[in-house]
Structure 1
Amino acid sequence: MAEIHYSQSTAQALKGKVVVMTGGSQGIGGATVALLHSLGSHVYFGDWDDTKGRKVEQDLSSATSSGGSVYFQKLDVRDYNAQVALFDEAYNRHGKVDVAISCAAIGEPGGWFEPEDLNLESVRRTDTEGEKEPVPVKDHIDINLTSVVAFCRIALAYMKSNKPDAQPNGDFSKSIVLVSSIAGITEAPGLFAYSPAKHGVIGLMRALRPWAPLKYGVRANAICPWATDTQILGGVRKKWVEEKMPLNTPEDVARFIVQCAVDKALNGTAVFVSGGRGFDTEEGINRTLPQWMGEQNSVEFLRGQEVLGLAVLSHTWHDGEATFQDFTSPDRAATCRLPGFRKIQVACELALRDDVRYAWVDTCCIDKTSSAEPTEAIQGYIV
């Protein structure tokens, strides 16, 4: 796995930037709000816990000024209109949104699959109105996944709509950061609501990563923390520490959220955070595609992506940056710049067809016919 490092100097680019965030009253979210504020960002965050959220807002607002600001709004992320209102608050005050971070989540509800409670009587139980018993985990999945899909849709609309009088961004690369979990990239026995939802967050990031940069100029990344010293760790903390297992602080995870938010080189990563260190798990998945899918299957899969019209792109080089042409557009001439992306991330070269070499990049085929830096185009990362 490729290790990712937090850069304090890179993070300084967040000074004056406008950040909208769900979650933020405590734990990882609270640490992220505090770090962003210390960097001079204008942070607009919503959380269900009104008391703790107001306290975060008051404490940071009265702290030594960093040039940033903090605004809190009580928020139920299941309420689409309430999410829009949070973005509206930031947009109306600053004329833009630069970074969107989805951090709101809740833990696993207990008992739904427990053998002592799962029987024919319990699954047939109806309420007083004659309807089937509601799925007890629905709210958890709505909070941990459905609301995140809505959040991303809303975020992209606001992030593409700068007001004319908004502060210029220069070469700052806008981004979405989604907080998933180790339970979103590995098996998690017994987490029947939490793990499917967090896997869904990774799927959402993968859907965004080839799409959002091309259509909106917005990067997308995910964070997958392992054991972190928050209230969710609960009763296992003591044994975890006794066994000397890696343990993140909320501040550790916050640093990687910020790095993904600010670093132009990062798009489509799923950063596994363990013991304060971060590793991109997607790099290994992409690099080993022919091994786990099979070489012939992987070639056919790429061809299928092309048949479906999914982002068949050619690239040229201009001013040290990659310019892409989307050959699936009706006029075959739609171009899009990816600011700061100077090389093409290629996991493996898979096919040679019609004298054109294709390489797998997330969900894109890249036509490597450009004579400029062909070796780097085959072997490099997006940096």
Structure 2
Amino acid sequence: MDLSYDPAHIQGKTILITGGAAGFGAAFGARWAAAGATVILGDINTSAGEKVTAQIREESQNQNVHFIKLDVTSWTSQVNFFRQAVELSPHGGIDTVVANAGINDAPEATAFEKPQVDYLNDPSPPAPSFKTLDVNLTGVMYTVHLALFFLPKNPDSSNCKPESPTSEPGRDRHILLLGSVASLHPLMTQTPYTVSKHAVLGLFRCLRISAPLNAGVRVNIVCPYYTDSQFMQAPVRALLAGTPLGKPEDVIEAATYLVADSRCSGRSLVTGPKLKLDASTGKLDVLRDDSGEQIQEGPIWECYLHDMEPADIFTQRMLGLVHVAIKARGWIGWAYDMAGALTWPIRQRWNRSSR
């Protein structure tokens, strides 16, 4: 899809990002600081947050980049985060809130599906851990609740106007949710994470209608497919060997488009591998040029969520994508990816030691 926008519309905005010390949060902050926004990063990891903030300041030559320690599972911490952000904002308000913080605790997921406690005989059996839900769901609900209070109070802002013929710069009222491919179809063995990301999608589906009416706030969501980043561990890479992965830059591009274009309201963008999607048939295919070289297109798709059928269609498309990609790349591509997955921990240690 065409993501035409004016990056100048990001300049001067104040943008809050939870989970901003690493991953997509840090990448969003770097991109938007370079465009002239005031960026306020929140994260529970103080040392990483301060380091990435200093790095973004240096690389962007933008001193309006700040870090505030934030525990998204703590209501008090979130309130303090928003209050301090308003004080740091050059215009005394907030334009965009990005609910990005999220985790996937694999041992927690395993323990949930394979109970080890003797619940019949243990005199005081412990409850299962739901840290993933605490961060990914309760934390997001806290963030969105506070955003719905602070955004309408943004000085010189007005109700969102999706019917505007052109995008407009200036003050904004925008919530950007970070979903996942797990928002649209289940990730087997990752039950808490899937539940949390399904819930974030449900939150979006409610707010995309009510938030513009009640608070003049536009709400959008980005749902990345499996993305080739430092957070994708070796077991997942091995599981996906032979299949294409999404690119972090496409997630950043999709999010930047939604932040920059004030007409975007109730939009749900899915990022994934660059394979051709036929909009008329919904079928995936591999295109080749005259010399036989593969042409890769379409890393960002619009996912319409009026009912559950489009989500089912999306799942079919993703399965089709996997089958097409494996057929196109063959066993050589699978072997290459598997070798990369098996050597990934060694390469990570090498990269850390060489810094």
User: Separation in 2 of the partners of 1:225 and 1:124?
Assistant: 43
Question: How does the TM-score come out when normalised to structure 1?
Answer: 0.65
Shift of 1:22: 0.3
One-letter amino acid of the counterpart of residue 66, structure 2: Y
**2:17 aligned residue:** 21
One-letter amino acid of the counterpart of residue 78, structure 1: T
| Secondary structure of 2:189's aligned partner | coil
- Asked if the contact 1:20–1:86 (Cα under 8 Å) also holds between the matched residues in 2, the reply is no
Shift of 1:252: 2.0
User: Separation in 2 of the partners of 1:287 and 1:171?
Assistant: 37
User: Separation in 1 of the partners of 2:126 and 2:73?
Assistant: 20
Task: Spell out, residue by residue over 1:77-101, the C-alpha distance to the aligned partner (whole angstroms, 9 max, x if none).
Answer: 0011211211112212331100000
Does residue 6 (structure 1) correspond to residue 3 (structure 2)? The answer is: yes
Task: Quickly say closer, same or farther: Cα 1:191–1:241, change in 2 above 3 A.
Answer: closer
Task: Spell out, residue by residue over 1:43-81, the C-alpha distance to the aligned partner (whole angstroms, 9 max, x if none).
Answer: 111112212111111111223425x62111121100112
**1:280 aligned residue:** 302
**2:61 aligned residue:** 65
Superposition pairs of residues 262-277 of structure 1, within 5 angstroms: 262-275=260-273, 277=299
Shift of 1:172: 4.8
User: Separation in 1 of the partners of 2:119 and 2:239?
Assistant: 35
Q: Where does the alignment leave 5 or more consecutive residues of structure 2 unmatched?
A: 158-167, 275-298, 314-355
- Asked if the contact 1:184–1:200 (Cα under 8 Å) also holds between the matched residues in 2, the reply is yes
Shift of 1:108: 3.2
- Asked if the contact 2:18–2:98 (Cα under 8 Å) also holds between the matched residues in 1, the reply is yes
User: Separation in 1 of the partners of 2:308 and 2:97?
Assistant: 26
Does residue 144 (structure 1) correspond to residue 123 (structure 2)? The answer is: no
| Secondary structure of 2:153's aligned partner | coil
**1:175 aligned residue:** 174
Does residue 80 (structure 1) correspond to residue 72 (structure 2)? The answer is: no
Return the structure number with greater strand share.
1
User: Separation in 2 of the partners of 1:38 and 1:140?
Assistant: 32
Q: For 1:103, which of 92, 100, 104 is the aligned residue?
A: 100
| Secondary structure of 1:275's aligned partner | coil
Does residue 233 (structure 1) correspond to residue 228 (structure 2)? The answer is: no
| Secondary structure of 1:21's aligned partner | strand
- Asked if the contact 1:32–1:255 (Cα under 8 Å) also holds between the matched residues in 2, the reply is no
- Asked if the contact 2:303–2:310 (Cα under 8 Å) also holds between the matched residues in 1, the reply is no
Does residue 135 (structure 1) correspond to residue 128 (structure 2)? The answer is: yes
**1:160 aligned residue:** 152
Task: Quickly say closer, same or farther: Cα 1:60–1:232, change in 2 above 3 A.
Answer: closer
Does residue 44 (structure 1) correspond to residue 66 (structure 2)? The answer is: no
Shift of 1:155: 0.8
User: Separation in 2 of the partners of 1:109 and 1:230?
Assistant: 17
Task: Quickly say closer, same or farther: Cα 1:170–1:266, change in 2 above 3 A.
Answer: closer
Question: How does the TM-score come out when normalised to structure 2?
Answer: 0.70
Shift of 1:30: 1.3
Task: Quickly say closer, same or farther: Cα 1:64–1:203, change in 2 above 3 A.
Answer: closer
Shift of 1:224: 0.8
| Secondary structure of 2:6's aligned partner | helix
One-letter amino acid of the counterpart of residue 250, structure 1: P
Aligned residue pairs total 274
What's the C-alpha RMSD, in Å, of the aligned pairs? 2.7
